[in-house]
């Protein structure tokens, strides 16, 4: 079982267009969040790696969510380079050889997480992509393959976490996006869950984007989610 402090379980997604916007948001949130995700949008902006370095100087943990998907050698080299930058997590897509290359290239304590099924996909989307199994079976199959390839964990909707915890090894790290403090919404995230429900299902980390980013007071929004996380966790004996 993974031991994660309560405050580290919340990963705030810096889904903003510019590195300066991300830095401003982090400063507004202050000590309410210790873990941040930086992804594709920011990677297209100048200063992506400067932002990563700055987050580390602020004693923040960093999840680099670029979902690497290319030939295995290219993915391995990218992961090796990223391992030197101080990130805690990175994500990969792909088949067994891609995941194996990423796992073999990681260093400096960085964890490789395999993407299972994006939370923006529903049953109809999976049919269009040619997946005829149910979503739970797809996620579990990919989790097994990820662990066999040497990955440290997976990114999975909270809706599939309970089955993962029942059937996958306890050392599997589960990072759950699509977290909403209240039952959702008409957004592009189709498979979502509240923080308390995701933790009860067995998630280790919760990724929260818009509910913090778009709040009138992002710090207050983050603190409210941290309070929900704390109340949902079992009390230590």
Tell me, what's the pLDDT at 237? 38
**Coil/strand/helix, residue 128:** helix
DSSP codes joined into one string, 210-225: HHHHTSSSHHHHHHHH
> Would you state the torsion angle of the CA atoms of residues 228, 29, 22, 56, taken in this order, to the nearest 10 degrees?
-90
| Euclidean distance between CA atoms 22 and 197, whole angstroms | 28
Length of the chain: 237
Q: Which sequence spans correspond to the domains of the chain?
A: 9-232
Give the pLDDT mean for 100-119: 89
The dihedral built from the CA positions of residue 182, 208, 156 and 230, taken in this order, carries a sign that is: negative
Residue 61's H or E segment, with its range, is strand 61-68
Q: According to the per-residue pLDDT averaged within each range, which of 113-122, 130-139, 212-221 is highest?
A: 212-221
**Coil/strand/helix, residue 90:** strand
Give the pLDDT mean for 72-80: 97
User: Catalytic positions, please?
Assistant: 67
Tell me, what's the pLDDT at 206? 97
Higher pLDDT, residue 161 or 78: 78
Model confidence pLDDT, tens digit, residues 1-52: 578 899 999 999 999 999 999 999 999 999 999 999 999 999 999 999 999 9
Model confidence pLDDT, tens digit, residues 180-230: 886 545 455 554 689 999 999 999 999 999 999 999 999 999 999 999 999
| Euclidean distance between CA atoms 35 and 222, whole angstroms | 11
| Architecture of the domain defined by 9-232 | Alpha-Beta Barrel (3.20)
Q: Percent of the chain, pLDDT > 70? A: 85
Give the pLDDT mean for 57-66: 97
Give the pLDDT mean for 54-61: 98
Tell me, what's the pLDDT at 234? 78
∠ CA 103-51-42, rounded to 5°: 75
């Amino acid at each position: 079982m993974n031991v994660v402090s309560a405050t580290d379980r919340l990963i705030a997604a810096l889904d903003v267009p510019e590195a300066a916007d991300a830095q401003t948001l982090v400063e507004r949130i202050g000590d309410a969040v210790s873990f941040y995700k930086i992804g594709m949008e920011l990677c297209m902006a100048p200063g992506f790696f400067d932002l990563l370095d700055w987050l580390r100087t602020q004693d923040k943990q960093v999840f680099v969510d670029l979902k690497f998907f290319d030939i295995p050698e290219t993915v391995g080299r990218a992961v090796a380079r990223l391992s030197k930058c101080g990130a805690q997590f990175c994500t990969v897509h792909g088949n067994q050889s891609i995941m194996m290359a990423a796992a073999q290239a990681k260093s400096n304590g960085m964890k490789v997480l395999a993407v299972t099924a994006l939370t923006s996909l529903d049953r109809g989307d999976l049919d269009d992509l040619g997946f005829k199994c149910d979503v739970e079976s797809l996620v579990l199959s990919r989790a097994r393959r990820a662990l066999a390839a040497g990955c440290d964990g997976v990114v999975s909707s909270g809706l599939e976490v309970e089955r993962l915890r029942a059937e996958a090894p306890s050392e599997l790290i589960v990072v759950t996006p699509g977290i909403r403090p209240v039952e959702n919404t008409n957004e592009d995230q189709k498979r979502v869950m509240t923080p308390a429900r995701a933790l009860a299902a067995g998630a280790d980390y919760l990724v929260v984007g818009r509910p913090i980013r778009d709040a009138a007071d992002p710090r207050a929004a983050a603190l409210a989610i941290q309070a929900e996380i704390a109340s949902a966790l079992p009390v230590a004996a």
